[in-house]
Amino acid sequence: MKKKSYITGIIGILFFAFLISNVSAYKWACLSYGDGIPHYTCHFSHCKLCLDDKGYSTDFGKCIKAKQCSFGPVNNDTTPPALTVNSPRNNQIFSTNSVSFNLTIDEPSTILYKNNKDSKFKTLAGNRLKYINQLTFKDGAYNITIRAEDRAGNDADILRSFYVDTKTPKIDSPKTDGNGNILIKFEESNPVLLTFKYGNNKTGYKSLNINLTNCNGTDNGKYNCLYFISKVQYNNMLKVYDGQEIESWLELKDIANNIGVSKKAKEMVDVTLPVINNPNNLAALHDKFVYFNISITEKNLDGVNYAENSTKLKWQNLCSTLKNGYCVKKVLFTKGNHDILIQVIDKSGNYATKEYIFKIN
């Protein structure tokens, strides 16, 4: 009986020692603003934590029997928060009115921003370590200040500039004046690239970039462009499509990569010059009349004209159509020497010219 009591007493002593060691492994910690332990910083005036034997925060229930702690004086915080702006990036361009804000701060802070054209900040959120949201901005250029302000009134500012452009450029179909000038009109505040595209599925498509320095803009984003292309350059561009139908259009890209497209136009390509088959036997003379009998090869004839060869050519029509491939016409001329130019022109503006000198007695 004495042996059993002795054993029970030993067990009791060991159990009591276990309780004492278990309680002493945990303790209370009273922190002031800015104080820290591993993986934790106090961001309030006072913070009370239960710590394990390694100094890490744990469940409050484990510190029920631990000795209470006391708070010291509140720390004087003069360090501004560390603000990181992941978005918007500086000089970023947005093609929608929704602008992504992604911010991180190293201590709980109030998040604010202002358009630098204004004087007042707008509050976005309070007591945050992170702020992720989509804010709405109208089209235009923006220069803003993003601010993080901590509980002690310290603040950190970061400037950001960005542009919002959601509108697709508007562009008209090109017009020509018959002298090689292409007239282009479009509406866009931030044009970047103007391209003339043409071709077909059979031969393929090509493009020609038009320098925007050829365009004059207004404050409301309306532009007028005048682009010159010579007949030789035009024929070189289209010679691989000779005798084929092509489509052509204009594309205008802005800084947000929005692309405006004009209406497409279709045309038959003809870059083959008319041929005068009898250049040395164009006409016969009889009294005051010249009997023209000009053999011509041209499928898309626009007309056969003549003019006295002088500094100012005054073209007169000889034939609008051909009879079995010939332009046949009797013309009365005045007495004397004549030096005339005969021009055969097709509907695409290609032409062939031949000089004809004669004398009316």
Local confidence band at 13 (pLDDT 50, 70, 90 cut-offs): very low
The CATH architecture to which 83-164 belongs is: Sandwich (2.60)
DSSP one-letter string for 291-330: EEEEEEE-SSEEEEEEEESSSS---EEEESS-BTTEEEEE
102-120 mean pLDDT: 93
Q: How far apart are CA 187 and CA 221, in angstroms?
A: 5
**275-360: CATH class:** mainly beta
Q: Check whether 14 has a pLDDT greater than 50.
A: no
- What's the pLDDT at 73? 74
> Domain boundaries in the chain?
23-76, 83-164, 172-268, 275-360
Q: What is the pLDDT of residue 75?
A: 65
Asked if pLDDT for residue 77 goes beyond 80, the answer is: no
Q: Is 178 exposed, middle or buried (0-12, 13-18, 19+ CB in 10 A)?
A: exposed
Percent of the chain past pLDDT 70, that is, above it, reads 92
Question: Which pLDDT band, with edges at 50, 70 and 90, does 15 fall under?
Answer: very low
What is the DSSP secondary-structure string of 105-153?
EEEEEEEEEEETTSS--EEEEEEEEEEEEEEE--SEEEEEEEEEEETTS
Least confidently predicted of 76-80, 98-102, 108-112, 125-129: 76-80
Per-residue confidence (pLDDT) for residue 24, from 0 to 100: 57
Q: How confident is the model at residue 349 (pLDDT cuts 50, 70, 90)?
A: confident
- With 90 as the cut, is the pLDDT of residue 72 above it? no
pLDDT for 176: 76
pLDDT of residue 19: 45
To the nearest whole number, what is the mean pLDDT of the chain?
Answer: 89
- CA-to-CA distance for 56 and 62, rounded, in angstroms? 12
Kind plus residue range of the DSSP H or E element containing 242: none
> Which has the higher per-residue pLDDT, 129 or 12?
129
pLDDT higher than threshold 80 for residue 154: yes
Mean pLDDT of 101-111: 95
Q: What are the pLDDT digits (tens) for 268-288?
A: 899 899 999 999 999 999 999
Model pLDDT, residue 2: 47
pLDDT tens for 202-259 read 999 999 999 999 898 877 789 999 999 888 888 888 999 999 999 999 999 999 999 9
The whole-number pLDDT of residue 273 equals 93
Q: CATH top-level class for 172-268?
A: mainly beta
What pLDDT score was predicted for residue 18?
44
Report the pLDDT value the prediction gives residue 175, as an integer from 0 to 100: 85
Measuring CA to CA, which residue among 21, 19, 37 is closest to residue 29? 37
